[in-house]
Amino acid sequence: MSEKIYAVLTGDIVKSRALSADQSKVLQQRLKSATAEFGVGFPGTVVGNLGITRGDGWQVALQKPGHALRLALYLRAVVKSEFNTDTRVSGGIGSVDRLEPENIIESTGLAFERSGHGLEQLRKTSRLSYNSEASSRRDELIIRLLDCIACKWTDKEAIALAGALLNQTHDKIAENSPVSERSGKKPTRQAIGDALARASWPEVQSCIDFFERLPGQA
């Protein structure tokens, strides 16, 4: 067994039965491309590709555990902003017995067990969990508060958050945002800043920074 510590995110789509087969396929492909985009922004973080499990489930591994929470929130922001739904996510931190980068769902180990178990144990009202040997009551409360914040993101806020989670500037986020059906224009830099403020981005960023600086998370 490798002593290297990994993070594993296991998730499923909220209200997936309301999606058609074509919609589900598009969403799954978007999860894969979003994870790849995250990997470009944070090189050396993602192991292989995001894998699809069951009909509405997915899983991804990270060799830099500190970025697990950031990726979990990024994928939620993408799903909320582009598909008008959400995804539950459970993070598991630990060792890995067998790692299959090209088919991550065939991998095994403590990180995968913690991640999968955490998803099974999520309360009906919760959509985010984080489990590691060193997890404390403090960590649990931070995750629960972050979950409460993320559950309230609107689609416009989620668009802004997705860019911010990739460390993009307000100008870059505005440039990458879709044209508003109402105004026929892209949002301004100020509009992005306002959306991030409403979405509690400064507080979210502080929590992410805290987890990324924990010992052994690099």
For 183-210, the pLDDT digits (tens) are 889 999 999 999 999 999 999 999 999 9
Cα 99 to Cα 34, 61, 185, distances in angstroms: 21, 9, 45
pLDDT one-digit tens code per residue, 73-108: 999 999 999 999 999 999 999 999 999 999 999 999
CA–CA separation, 67 vs 32, rounded Å? 17
pTM listed for this prediction = 0.95
H/E segment holding residue 145: helix 137-151
Q: Which domain holds residue 106?
A: 6-212
DSSP structure string for 68-108: HHHHHHHHHHHHHHHHSS-EEEEEEEE--SB--TTSGGG-B
Residue 30 in any domain: the answer is: yes
Find the CATH number of the domain harbouring 24: 3.30.70.270
Q: Are 118 and 25 in contact (CB under 8 A)?
A: no
Q: Are 159 and 81 in contact (CB under 8 A)?
A: yes
Residue 217 in any domain: the answer is: no
Overall number of domains in the chain:
1
